[in-house]
Amino acid sequence: MILTFKKISIYILLSLAVLSCNHTQRNFEPENETEEIRINQLGYLPHRVKKFVVVNTEASEFEVVDRNGKTVFSGDLIDQGEWTSSGEQVKIGDFTSFDEAGLDYRILVEGTGLSYAFDISYDVFTEAGKASIKSYYFQRNSMPIEERNGGKFARPAGHPDDTVYYHSSSGRSSGFKSSKYGWYDAGDYGKYVVNAGVSAGTMLALYERFPDVFADGSLNIPESGNGQNDLLDEIRYELDWLITMQDNDGGVFTKVTTKNFVGFVMPHETHEDRYFIGKSTAASLNYAALLAMASRIYQEIDSEFAEDILNMAEKAWNWAVTHPEKYYRNPEDIFTGGYGDRNVTQEWFWAAAELYITTGEERYLEPISNKLDKIQFNVGGSWANYQDKIGYFSLLGKNSPLDDTGKSTIKTSLINLTDSLGTVLESTPYHIPIDRFVWGSNSDILNTAVLFANAFLETGDPKYLNWSIETTDYVLGKNATGYSFLTGFGDKKVMHIHHRPSGADGIDEPVPGFVAGGPNAGMNDRNDLGEGASYPDQTHPAKVYIDAQGSYASNEVCLNWNAPMVYMFGFLEGVKY
Which residues form the interface with ligand 9MR (CB under 6 A)? Answer: 185-186, 188, 190, 337-339, 383, 439-440, 552, 556, 558
560, 439 Cβ separation under 8 angstroms: no
Q: Which of 238, 347, 556, 573 is catalytic?
A: 556
**Among residues 93 and 337, whose Cβ is nearest to ligand 9MR?**
337
**Among residues 463 and 526, whose Cβ is nearest to ligand 9MR?**
526
557, 514 Cβ separation under 8 angstroms: yes
Q: Which of 161, 185, 188, 470 is catalytic?
A: 188
**Among residues 182 and 440, whose Cβ is nearest to ligand 9MR?**
440
Half-sphere exposure of 42 (CA within 13 A, CB side): 24
Q: What CA–CA distance (Å, rounded) separates 55 from 480?
A: 9
Residues whose CB is less than 8 angstroms from the CB of residue 254 and which lie 6 or more positions away in sequence, other chains included:
192, 193, 194, 277, 278, 279, 280, 282, 283, 328, 339
404 is catalytic: no
Q: Which amino acid is at 484?
A: S
- Helix-helix angle 193-209:230-242, to 10 degrees: 150
- Nearest residue to ligand 9MR by CB is 337
Q: Which of 388, 470, 547, 573 is catalytic?
A: 547
**Among residues 93 and 381, whose Cβ is nearest to ligand 9MR?**
381
Give min distance, CB of 560 to ligand 9MR, in A: 7
Give min distance, CB of 439 to ligand 9MR, in A: 4
**Among residues 275 and 552, whose Cβ is nearest to ligand 9MR?**
552
269 is catalytic: no
Give min distance, CB of 364 to ligand 9MR, in A: 29
188 is catalytic: yes
Q: Which of 498, 499, 525, 573 is catalytic?
A: 498
**Among residues 357 and 384, whose Cβ is nearest to ligand 9MR?**
384
Task: Name which of 49, 52, 33 is nearest 91 in CA terms.
Answer: 52
Give min distance, CB of 184 to ligand 9MR, in A: 9
Give min distance, CB of 269 to ligand 9MR, in A: 19
Q: What CA–CA distance (Å, rounded) separates 469 from 492?
A: 20
452, 467 Cβ separation under 8 angstroms: yes
Burial class of residue 273 in the structure, from the number of CB atoms within 10 Å of its CB (0-12 exposed, 13-18 middle, 19+ buried): exposed
First to last CA, the chain: 56
Give min distance, CB of 329 to ligand 9MR, in A: 12
Q: What CA–CA distance (Å, rounded) separates 139 from 155?
A: 11
556 is catalytic: yes
Q: Which amino acid is at 133?
A: I
Q: What CA–CA distance (Å, rounded) separates 227 from 218?
A: 11
Q: Which residues are catalytic?
A: 188, 498, 547, 556
